[in-house]
Amino acid sequence: MAQLILDNISKQFDTTDRAAVSGVSLTVREGGFLALLGPSGCGKTTVLRMIAGFEQPSDGAILLGEKCLADGRAMVPPEHRNMAMVFQSYALWPHMSVAENVGYPLKVRGLSGQARDAKVREALASVRLEKFADRRPADLSGGQRQRVALARCLVTDPDVVLLDEPLANLDRHLRQEMEETFREFHSRSGATMIYVTHDQAEAMALATDVAVMSEGRLLQVATPEEIYARPQGRLVGELIGQGAILSLPLIGEGLRLLDWPAMRALLEDRRPSTQIDILVRPQDVELAEGGVPATVTSVLFEGERYAVRLSLLDGQTLRAFAREAVRVGEKLHVVIRSAWRL
């Protein structure tokens, strides 16, 4: 297995003035699980389609190890890339049984008889569907159909598995169940996986690395822990987590992680100054005496806690969590235990 490398790839469609993808460069670690994260229309699916071979880059190159899969002049067809793709719509043949759907890629490759049957049984066992081999897709739940699509990927021993928002059509309970299935699938197969999603919770739960995109450009690539704790720039800060971004006076150039004394000094500083963006996560906001004044503007009960939106004296907004109920319009004090300068 080899590293997948995107070298400054771009994609320009004739129907638009703006490039769908512009200058994206990244290396997907061998056997890693990369999530391409961003809002609708940011270019993440176009990147996935270029990796799969369904679109040709307008510029740049895609390499698997030392083999060039595509550049602006030529490209290797999808069927010769040893990649597998899981679609949002499952893409199962309704007239075939589960076993026939899973075994179809092997049939296309000329494998038949006991060898094919053994690989199909192994792939179905890996997604816990061996008892459903003779059923049709119409007889399965949405989560089971997605497992069939995963087994169809696994049966070919692909170098790279591509997943295009595969959980978008499932309800919350099934999504959580399928997340565990994807983690098991990644662990069992050892394949490099690239997962397109607009849901940052999915990306954080599944991926070893997260690549954040916006308007066709790559903004940041890092581990989930790094990208959550230290987002680079306002756009990444807005996309990751449920934080609030405050505009506060400029502080020393080297200071990025801010504690409460530093935050209090900034919040109480009324001098005209150049403003900077500071990200504050709700779990770092404490409703406590001795803090700065704030007014409750909304309260949402989430079962185990209340999600609270607060307005500071200057009109800027914070988000916080509370164990006890508070009322809209209530005057409180807040302490910001930690914040991150963007």
Domains present along the chain, CATH in parentheses: 4-238 (3.40.50.300), 242-341 (2.40.50.140)
CB 101 within 8 A of CB 87: no
Of 49, 119, 113, 59, whose CA–CA distance to 81 is shortest? 49
pLDDT for residue 331: 96
Task: List, for the chain, all residue ranges whose pLDDT scores fall below the cut of 50.
Answer: none
3-state helix, strand, coil in the chain (%, to 5): 30, 35, 35
Q: Which residue has the tokens 């200057």?
A: 314
**According to the 3-state scheme, what is the secondary structure of 187-226?**
HHHCCEEEEEECCHHHHHHHCCEEEEEECCEEEEEECHHH
Q: Which residue has the tokens 């940041």?
A: 220
DSSP H stretches of helix in 2-53: 44-52
Return d(Cα 321, Cα 120) in angstroms, integer. 48
pLDDT for residue 337: 95
Give tens-digit pLDDT for 88-115. 777 899 999 999 999 998 888 888 888 8
CB 152 within 8 A of CB 33: no
Burial class (CB in 10 A: 0-12, 13-18, 19+), 165: buried
- How many C-beta atoms lie closer than 10 Å to residue 40's C-beta? 8
pLDDT for residue 253: 67
Pairing relationship of beta strands 160-164 and 83-86 according to DSSP bridges: parallel
User: Helices 172-189 and 113-126: crossing angle, nearest 10°?
Assistant: 130
Q: What DSSP designation does 29 have?
A: P
pLDDT for residue 1: 61
Largest CA distance in the chain: 79
| Local structure of 294: helix, strand or coil | strand
pLDDT for residue 158: 87
End-to-end CA distance of the chain: 37
Q: What DSSP designation does 113 have?
A: H
- How many C-beta atoms lie closer than 10 Å to residue 4's C-beta? 23
Task: Report how far Cα 105 is from the mean position of its chain's Cα atoms.
Answer: 28
